Structure 1
């Protein structure tokens, strides 16, 4: 994927391959800010009823299973769009989930966000990721490896879909005052995906996954939506990367190892 502008259309426009329910939230174009996510379903999860208005406005939502489906995503860069479709299909194959994906315009004053929800728009999908156009524009405006930064966010959200599909959320959040364990587990799985891509392509900018999540860290320790500090989020990505690149764990083994990593 390459850099490129995003359309300014004030409506949802969709593609495919998304995730379950989380908000990375609070990120400006490059600089991380304190997590400003609204509290949804006791944390960052967007409840089905909250997602419904966004999904009902979405156009042409597609779940990419092969990467060869018709492209309905319009970032303003056709090469980026095609590459993203193929990457989302790669996540689908790796993690064994098939979510939908839709862009949405974040409300003014709420920062740039990517939410995930268990709400289903399509037949046979595993939930939906709602990726903010402001967040997309910010990530694509990064000076280095903007394509990998977008993939890092998508892979994190796919990690949440895995949690939803396998019924892991209750375990991750049990006895916790914040959603940090759930978020770090998703970061771990994003790192695992980065390692898979690095093995496939030595030039893949896997380090961008760690720096992107570092940028999205926060110090809102007393907020339900605390996702982990900058260092904790980067470290979780690197742990997931090592699980595949150095230790050769399978996906199932990595999911379990990630639970141990975050103390769940």
Structure 2
């Protein structure tokens, strides 16, 4: 057998494998464990899949971990800390638990959507969309950034081999419904539940006919947002 080339992706996967899990649940202090073994078993292929479809390689391949998100479900893509170049995708353990609850155990599509949304933020950072969208927003909020990433997340779903049924989209949409908010004037407004579902569904539809090109998906997502919410953009 030929030796494997050492890459950032291989290092990430190796570190995850080294952490491992035993039993039904994992210790909360293990940054690579969600607290649910069945979830942890699917993380590696999900990270591999999303890094491929968003074409994230080298320094753009983000670090990853689960974290304790307290009383409110949370997931985030954090900027590189000073002295480092990689972003950090973090998925909250409560977010995982609530997704399992919302989906009645059929969590594959919903969690893939949550992961994909955060990887979408990494892609936005890489391609300059985050600054571009922030500059465009009439309220100087993050709503354009967030719902654009919802579109990108929806776009990834048809490309995941484990998502095959129309009901999978419904489950994923329900998760996005839970992630919406009604703080319209807040800088941190992410879009309402219906708005987020709409963009995710639009991305899913685009992904059915135009997979494998995140650049085209990103431009299509921006065009859809401009059509649906022209009032959100600076004149």
TM-score, normalised with respect to structure 2: 0.74
CA contact (8 A) 1:112 1:132 kept: yes
Indicate the structure whose relative CO is greater, using CA pairs within 8 Å and at least 6 residues apart.
Answer: 1
Partners of 1:253 and 1:247 lie apart in 2 by 8
Counterpart for residue 70 of structure 1 = 17
Partners of 1:132 and 1:257 lie apart in 2 by 29
Partners of 1:161 and 1:215 lie apart in 2 by 22
Structure 1 residues 243 and 71, CA, compared in 2 at 3 Å: closer, same or farther?
farther
Offset, 1:248 = 5.2
Cα root mean square deviation, aligned: 2.9
Offset, 1:133 = 1.7
Offset, 1:249 = 7.1
CA contact (8 A) 1:71 1:85 kept: no
Counterpart for residue 39 of structure 1 = none
Partners of 2:15 and 2:38 lie apart in 1 by 13
Gaps of 5+ in 1: 1-15, 18-61
Offset, 1:121 = 9.8
Offset, 1:99 = 0.8
Greater mean alpha carbon deviation, residues 173-182 or residues 125-134: 125-134
Q: Deviations over 1:124-160 (max 9, x none)?
A: x741012222222222233142232222111100110
Structure 1 residues 179 and 257, CA, compared in 2 at 3 Å: closer, same or farther?
same
Q: Are 2:168 and 1:168 aligned?
A: no
Tell me the number of residue pairs that the alignment of Structure 1 and Structure 2 aligns: 199
- The higher radius of gyration belongs to 2
Counterpart for residue 116 of structure 1 = 77
Structure 1 residues 137 and 181, CA, compared in 2 at 3 Å: closer, same or farther?
same
Alignment partner for residue 236 of structure 1, among 194, 199, 209? 199
Helix, strand or coil at the partner of 2:12: coil
Offset, 1:163 = 0.4
Q: Deviations over 1:144-201 (max 9, x none)?
A: 4223222211110011000011111111111422211110110000001112126x75
Offset, 1:122 = 11
CA contact (8 A) 2:74 2:94 kept: yes
Partners of 1:94 and 1:233 lie apart in 2 by 21
